[in-house]
């Protein structure tokens, strides 16, 4: 938690050390991927720099299929997961030659459950409406 100027200074020193390491190893940072996600209530949203340029603040970031916002609310993550699963379920019947249950069932199970298994411990749904949305897709995939 960084809520003091001293804490901000510690983070800035770490960023400066990272820049020196990158220069020594002839590496560069992608400016488009450099963002700061400020979380927590009452966050002072300190500005930091990486080298000579300031880092931009972002309201949400996605990493390893997990979308996190400033409030760490996972409702949007659940909606994106359901959207991806529904899209996959819609593509399976039109792209599979055999309509036999033995062929489609493992395919649905593997392709639809993949987004759920990715970092599920982190984005576990917290609201009943999110759980209902996810369960609806699971029932659809079982049909």
Query: What does the pLDDT look like over 54-83, one tens digit per residue?
Result: 888 888 877 766 777 777 777 787 788 788
66 vs 2: CA distance, rounded Å? 24
**Whether residue 26 is found in the same domain as residue 81:** no
Query: What's the mean per-residue pLDDT of the chain?
Result: 79
Could you give the C-alpha distances from 93 to 14, 83, 88, 105, 123, in angstroms and in order? 52, 17, 10, 11, 29
**Whether residue 89 is found in the same domain as residue 110:** yes
Contact 37, 14 (CB under 8 A): no
**Whether residue 138 is found in the same domain as residue 84:** yes
pLDDT score for 72: 74
**Whether residue 22 is found in the same domain as residue 45:** yes
**Whether residue 23 is found in the same domain as residue 80:** no
Report if pTM > 0.75: no
Based on the structure, what is the number of domains in the chain?
2
Of 29, 58, 87, which one is at a domain's C-terminal end? Answer: 58
What's the domain range around 35? Answer: 5-58
User: Does residue 121 have a pLDDT over 60?
Assistant: no
**Whether residue 71 is found in the same domain as residue 128:** yes
User: Does residue 16 have a pLDDT over 60?
Assistant: yes
The mean per-residue pLDDT over the stretch 80-103 comes to 77
**Whether residue 82 is found in the same domain as residue 38:** no
Of 58, 80, 101, which one is at a domain's C-terminal end? Answer: 58
pLDDT band at 51, cuts 50/70/90? confident
Own/partner pairs for 45-50, CB < 8 Å, 24+ apart?
46/2, 46/8, 46/11, 48/8, 48/11, 48/12, 48/15, 49/12, 49/15, 50/15, 50/18, 50/19
pLDDT score for 13: 94
**Whether residue 73 is found in the same domain as residue 136:** yes
**Whether residue 32 is found in the same domain as residue 49:** yes
Select from 74, 83, 29, 21 the least CA-distant residue to 53.
29
**Whether residue 45 is found in the same domain as residue 23:** yes
User: Does residue 22 have a pLDDT over 80?
Assistant: yes
**Whether residue 12 is found in the same domain as residue 71:** no
pLDDT band at 114, cuts 50/70/90? low
**Whether residue 20 is found in the same domain as residue 85:** no
């Amino acid at each position: 938690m960084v809520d003091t100027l001293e804490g901000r200074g510690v983070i800035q020193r770490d960023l400066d050390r990272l820049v020196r390491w990158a220069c020594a190893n002839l590496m560069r940072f992608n400016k488009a991927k450099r963002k700061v996600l400020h979380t927590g209530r009452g966050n002072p949203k300190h500005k930091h720099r990486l080298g000579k340029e300031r880092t931009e603040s972002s309201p949400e970031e996605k990493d390893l299929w997990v979308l996190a916002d400033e409030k760490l609310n996972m409702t949007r993550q659940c909606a994106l997961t359901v959207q991806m699963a529904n899209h996959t379920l819609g593509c399976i019947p039109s792209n599979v030659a055999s309509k036999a249950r033995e062929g489609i069932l493992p395919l649905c199970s593997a392709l639809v459950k993949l987004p759920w298994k990715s970092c599920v411990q982190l984005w576990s749904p917290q609201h009943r409406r999110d759980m209902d949305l996810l369960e609806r897709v699971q029932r659809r995939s079982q049909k």
